């Protein structure tokens, strides 16, 4: 993954999401957080739900892969992404989980108001 320098300012928000690589995000609106730590906690919670769902569907290998990725996300110190693939599916594209920095000026005012940001 190529990283570019990002300047973080008081107007920086953090968006979390997930998607199949090459496809649009699974949510229509980004989930926005005001701090990186909040974004990381929210992404970890989302990944925990995904792991629980996989376990409920008796896909223990995928649940374990998501759990391992969750531990790695917990160590992130800045926006990043990870792709988790199902070890039992040969051609699985996986799911990308990510946190990106977003400038508040790039978010629609109505969306900010709805989110009380």
What is the pLDDT, as a whole number, of residue 110?
82
Q: Average pLDDT of the chain?
A: 89
Q: Cα dihedral angle (107, 111, 116, 117), rounded to 10 degrees? A: 0
Q: What is the pLDDT of residue 66?
A: 97
> What pLDDT, in 10s, does the model give residues 16-71?
999 998 888 877 777 899 999 999 999 999 999 999 999 999 999 999 999 999 99
* Per-residue pLDDT at 14: 95
The CA distance from 111 to 48, in Å, is: 26
Quote the pTM value. 0.84
So what's the pLDDT on residue 84? 97
Check whether 103 has a pLDDT greater than 80: yes
Range name among 26-30, 67-71, 72-76, 106-110 with the lowest pLDDT average: 26-30
What φ, ψ does residue 96 adopt, rounded to 5°?
-95, 130
Q: What order of strands is seen across the sheet that includes strand 31-33?
A: 31-33, 12-19, 95-103, 81-84
Greater confidence (105 vs 45) lies with: 45
**Rounded to whole angstroms, how far apart are CA atoms 69 and 93?**
16
**Token digits for 63?**
């649940």
Report how far Cα 15 is from the mean position of its chain's Cα atoms.
8
Burial class (CB within 10 angstroms; exposed 0-12, middle 13-18, buried 19+) of 41 = middle
């Amino acid at each position: 993954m190529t990283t570019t320098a990002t300047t973080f300012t008081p107007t920086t928000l953090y968006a979390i999401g997930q998607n199949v690589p090459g496809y649009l995000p699974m949510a229509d609106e980004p989930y926005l957080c005001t701090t990186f730590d909040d974004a990381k906690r929210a992404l970890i919670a989302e990944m925990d739900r995904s792991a629980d769902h996989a376990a409920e569907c008796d896909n223990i290998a995928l649940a374990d892969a998501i759990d391992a990725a969750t531990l790695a996300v917990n160590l992130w110190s800045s926006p990043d992404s990870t792709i988790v693939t199902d070890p039992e599916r040969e051609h699985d594209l996986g799911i990308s989980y990510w946190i990106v920095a977003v400038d508040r000026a790039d978010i629609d005012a109505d969306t900010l108001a709805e989110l009380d940001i």
